Amino acid sequence: MLDRPVQPHCDSRRATGIPLRLLLDKRDHFLPGDMSRFFEETAIEPTARFYKEAEVIWQAVSEETWVELDNYVEEIRHRCNHIIIRLRQRASWNMFTSEARAAWRDSWQFCLREGQLHLMQPIHFLREKYISQFNAKHPELDPPLRQSDKLTHRLSGLPSFKGDYVAYLRREGFEPARCFGLFEDALAHVKRRGGIHFDDRPTPDFDVLVDGRAHALPKDRDILGLPAVLPPPRHLPVTGDGRWTPLTTLNTCT
């Protein structure tokens, strides 16, 4: 049972987020596939459930980066639809010509890119849905939950997704004995990719350390989607040794 929400507070340091390029690295996905599909399945259920680990990941990535991801996916979707409409208007084309085949292949590749990007968004969609439903259920809450809130602070008692994730893995056919280990592996993957440190406290502190040097981020050829429409990178502060860039530091405020 969640405790009554508390008033919003300000984090002691500004969270600048994990770079969008790191989320889009197709060589090593930021979220494991099974974890993404679990959150995608959870997001389409009528009543949204949200979890402590999902909030830690969302805050680490940052609202600004999630908005960048939404805009990026929408731009690729728009281009995909534009190509399909243009092809359908070319009714005089002989579909067996190399020109027609190449155009439809390009269209298919655009749509494939857009489909792969959906694996990055379910945590963000689920969080938006959860906040909307919570505010509708608690109209007396003043102020209502906002996207910028740290939910682990305002909603003490967010559950772990461990039990639901293990149940999901079993439904997917994984051996029961392996499921708990796969849960730990999923968290370890996110920690390795994004430097996110999880702990067992109800309102966790965490630091996110990402190598922000240009050569450490994926190149255009390694980006999911269409790198040409990526937004310009935000300024990344560099620490004294010039090696590691602290992109997010969130401290629990009381």
Residue type, 175: E
Residues with Cβ within 8 Å of residue 46, at least 6 apart in sequence = none
Residue 120: strand, helix, or coil: helix
Task: With respect to residue 12, please indicate whether it lies within any of the assigned structural domains.
Answer: no
pLDDT tens digits, the chain, 254 residues: what are they?
A: 455 565 554 443 334 678 898 888 888 888 888 999 999 999 999 999 999 999 999 998 899 999 999 999 888 888 877 777 777 776 566 666 776 677 667 666 666 555 566 677 899 999 999 999 999 999 999 899 999 999 988 887 899 999 999 999 999 999 988 999 999 999 888 888 766 766 654 444 444 445 444 556 788 888 888 888 888 876 554 444 444 344 433 333 32
Q: 189-198 pLDDT, tens per residue? A: 888 876 676 6
Partnered with residue 250 across adjacent β-strands are 206
Cα 198 to Cα 204: distance, rounded to the nearest angstrom: 7
User: Does residue 4 sit within a domain?
Assistant: no
Whether 6 is covered by a domain: the verdict is no
Residue 232 lies in a domain: yes
Phi/psi for 237 (5° steps) reads: -70, 145
> What pLDDT, on a 0 to 100 scale, did the predictor assign at position 33?
87
Return the ∠ at Cα 65 (arms to 185 and 166), rounded to 5°.
25
- Indicate the burial class of 130 (C-beta count within 10 angstroms; 0-12, 13-18, 19 or more): buried
- DSSP for 198-243, written as a single string: --SSSS--EEEEE--SGGGSPPGGGBSS-GGGPPPPPP----TTSS
CA dihedral 154, 157, 163, 169 (to 10 degrees): 0
Q: Is residue 156 part of a domain?
A: yes
> Taking a C-beta distance cutoff of 8 angstroms, is the pair 94, 103 a contact?
no
Give the pLDDT of residue 29.
Answer: 84
Range of the domain at 95: 20-250
Q: Is residue 159 included in any domain, yes or no?
A: yes
Task: Please tell me the total count of domains within the chain.
Answer: 1
Three-class DSSP labels, 22-77:
HHCECCCCCCCHHHHHHHHHHHCCCCCCCCHHHHHHHHHHCHHHHHHHHHHHHHHH
Residue at 87 is within a domain = yes
- Which pLDDT belongs to residue 30? 86
Please check whether residue 8 lies inside any domain of the structure: no
pTM > 0.75: yes
177 CB contacts (<8 Å, ≥6 apart)? Answer: none
